[in-house]
A and B are shown apart, each in its own frame.
Chain A
Amino acid sequence: MVASAVVSSATGGRAIQSSAIVIGAGIVGAACARSLAMAGIDVLIVDRSTAASATTARGEGNLLVSDKAPGAELVMAVTAAHRWPGLVAELAEELGDGFPSIEYESKGGLVVATTEDGAAPLLRFAAEQRGAGVDARELSVSDARTLEPELNPAITAAVHYPQDAQVQPVNAAEALLASARGHGARVMQNTRISGPILDANGAIVGIATDRGELRADAIVVAAGPWSGEVARVLGVGLPVLPRRGMVLVTSRMPQRIFHKVYDADYVGAVGSGDAALQTSSVVESTESGNVLIGSSREQLGFDDRLRVDTIARIASKALRLFPFLTDQAIIRTYGGFRPFMPDHLPLVSEDHRLPGLWHATGHEGAGIGLAPVTGELIAALITGTTPPLDPAPFSLARATLAPHLAAVA
């Protein structure tokens, strides 16, 4: 494909984009690549390691609306919730039966307050979410225990979110990648970026790597918690920080947990900027019969060493929700790094400081669920077509991000 001339103006007049490089082959990168490829763009995905192996492979596969306060991210999440079932069907059609299952399960979420003080804030939060169009149903404790018979009877409030769902994140990412390939995208793994390639006007027209120079009209940074590092190599600062999480996996058990159940501390933890350990309990069963137990948030850079205190806290909070779990065996723990933005909103945007550069990152713990809409949004922005939702809140130029951009400049 012939690369078209790029008009590098921040105010408009975008030329035809015919090629793109997506940096990062996790679920967000895969979704971006698929959407771009389906729009007729020649896409190359580049990853410093292997696809679907980093943050994508270290979460639980949450597709949540329940944990988001009214605002732009919630709008994105609700859009995503509507989009997923159709996407799953499209991918099944494209890839056939043999492809590892995405395990999309519209299982619904149940958020409970575990203290007297926690009840009113939870119910208030739910009311605000309802105002923003979320299906959030206040339940009596006894109705909550009809949905989840093993739930601790001492809970103080409960809200049911039927729109919450779950997927197997690695399989979802691999499916998006396979679909992208089907639409002509190529994937280069184990490739390290060493710098930008700039044209005479200072626009970015490619990347230098340890496997040669790669050129494209649009460069999209979708490297999750490593987006800051990638951006730096390309010459700009991005205030994305890693936020460590850990998950416990139980042995297989008969199904006694039916929804994604979590305590209302989760909401506070996600929205917190606090670097210290935040834990809240998130418990759900999976198709294979193992129960996943999270969650924790710690800012430790990229330190992935085991911390027994962290997983002990996760375990103890889980028992407050489901006392019966006390004798269940934990067989595995894993963890990873979420991409954390200081103003708690994903970044899906052009980089006004460097024409030709785009970002699709900063989803914190919501990247799995928000990936498809992110892909569609970035593709719309790059091709100049109608975006699936208002892009302004996710822009790099938003006011809440300005002080942080200045700090990493």
Chain B
Amino acid sequence: MLPGGDDPIRPENETMVSITVDGEPTAGILGQSIAGVIMAGDRLGFRQTARLDKPRGVFCGIGVCFDCLVEVNGLSDVRACQRKAKDGDVVITARDPHPQGGDA
């Protein structure tokens, strides 16, 4: 992530937003995607896969691969790269759900 001062493109009028990621308060800039906010904190992996328990994060960045799924405000299956961060968003980067099996 570029600090604003160094970026020759220099976005202006940046408003901060505050979200929580797995309970941790995390600052972001209004206009960033949730993926952008997470990755700006140098965290590349934010989902654990169901079968092999491996980390995934952004892969395609444009909403086709669905690797970057997070839970936002209680809603599952949200692509972090497509959803812009809003102040107060509660983001959970859970392990992929997998049925536990078992019958009554």
Residues of A bordering B, CB below 8 Å: 105-108, 146-148, 251-255, 258-259, 285-289, 327-329
Contacts and interface: CB of A to CB of B under 8 A. Distances in A.
Contacts of B101: 255, 287
Nearest to A162: B103
A108 B103 contact: yes
Contacts of A328: 76
A253 to B, nearest CB: 5
B104 A252 contact: no
A327 B75 contact: yes
Contact of B100 (A105, A146, A255, A259): A255
Contacts of A254: 97-100
Contacts of B100: 254-255
Given A259-B103, A287-B99, A289-B50, 4 more contacts: A254-B98, A255-B99, A288-B99, A289-B98
Closest 7 CB pairs of A and B: A255-B99, A254-B97, A147-B104, A329-B77, A289-B99, A253-B97, A251-B77
Contacts of A288: 99
Interface of B is mostly: loop
A253 B50 contact: no
Contact of A329 (B50, B76, B96): B76
A146 B104 contact: yes
Nearest to A291: B99
A146 B77 CA distance: 28
Nearest to A285: B99
Interface string B38-50: 0000000000001
Contacts of B103: 105-108, 258-259
Contacts of B102: 255, 258
Interface in B75-104: 75-77, 96-104
Nearest to A107: B103
Nearest to A253: B97
Given A106-B103, A258-B104, A259-B103, A252 B75 contact: no
Interface of B: 50, 75-77, 96-104
11 contacts: A108-B104, A148-B104, A251-B76, A252-B98, A253-B97, A255-B99, A255-B100, A285-B99, A286-B99, A289-B50, A289-B98
A298 to B, nearest CB: 30
Nearest to B97: A254
Contacts of A146: 104
A329 B103 CA distance: 24
Contacts of B77: 251, 329
A252 B50 CA distance: 9
A166 to B, nearest CB: 11
A197 B84 CA distance: 68
A289 B75 CA distance: 17
Contact of B97 (A287, A289, A327): A289
A251 B47 CA distance: 15
Nearest to A160: B104
A85 to B, nearest CB: 14
Nearest to A289: B99
A97 B88 CA distance: 50
Nearest to B69: A251
Interface centre among A105, A106, A254, by most chain B C-beta atoms within 10 angstroms, is A254
Contacts of A327: 75-76
Contacts of A329: 76-77
A106 B103 CA distance: 9
Interface centre among B76, B100, B102, B104 (most CB of A within 10 A): B104
Contacts of A289: 50, 97-99
A35 to B, nearest CB: 30
A279 to B, nearest CB: 25
Nearest to A328: B76
Contacts of A286: 99
Which of the listed residues A148, A252, A286, A328 has the most CB atoms from chain B within 10 Å of its own CB?
A252
A317 B101 CA distance: 25
A254 B101 CA distance: 10
A275 B12 CA distance: 63
